[in-house]
A = this chain, B = another copy of it.
């Protein structure tokens, strides 16, 4: 995985407060995604960000606070999900697949999602965050599409997203790991379409 770190312009000035804060946040997000919650220590974050560990404490207080801050999903993703109900019903599965794929292609949001998923196995707060995304954000979309068991549809579509993310980025199982975003979208679209709007087994 490529580590994207904000580049500090080499102007000879000391980096400003918000630069340092962003640098720490990016280092933390990357570590949470790559080594998990338990092994991401303030010391390791500080080393990765190239700052004094005291600064990490200064800016973020506790590890849980830092975690909450860096794994907040961009509002654009929630907005995009909400708008999906507006287009034609027969292609909503494809639109969901496109949002999921493009969210996972973006390095910051991919790292955010991986940080959450890795942390769920050891950290209850992370499990709660992923559960909320799966059950609430998707349920709003499902409820806008149908009256027939929107919660069930949301959690089934959510399980598909979790499975795709885990298998492609954590397990790196082939051929899924090497598929292009377009191929992923093509393969996921009919399943999202099924879970979200087609008749479910009763």
Question: Which residues of chain A have a CB within 8 Å of any CB of chain B?
Answer: 35-36, 38-39, 117-118, 120-122, 127, 130-131, 134-135, 151-152, 155-156, 158-164, 166-168, 170-176, 183, 186-187, 189-191, 194-195, 200-201
CB distance from A48 to the nearest CB of B (A): 18
Q: Which residues of B contact A162 (CB under 8 A)?
A: 162-163, 166-167, 171
Interface majority SS (helix, strand, loop, mixed), chain A: helix
Q: Which of B131, B164, B170, B195 contacts A127 (CB 8 A)?
A: B170
Number of copies: 2
Q: Compute how far the CA of A183 lies from the CA of B134 in the bound complex, rounded to whole angstroms.
A: 19
A173–B134 CB distance below 8 A: yes
CB distance from A117 to the nearest CB of B (A): 8
Q: Which residues of B contact A189 (CB under 8 A)?
A: 201
B134–A171 CB distance below 8 A: yes
A160–B158 CB distance below 8 A: no
A159–B176 CB distance below 8 A: yes
Nearest CB in chain B to that of A202: its residue: B186
Q: Which of B39, B117, B187 contacts A122 (CB 8 A)?
A: B39
CB distance from A179 to the nearest CB of B (A): 8
B200–A173 CB distance below 8 A: no
Given contacts A38-B39, A39-B38, A187-B201, contact A166 B159 (CB under 8 A): yes
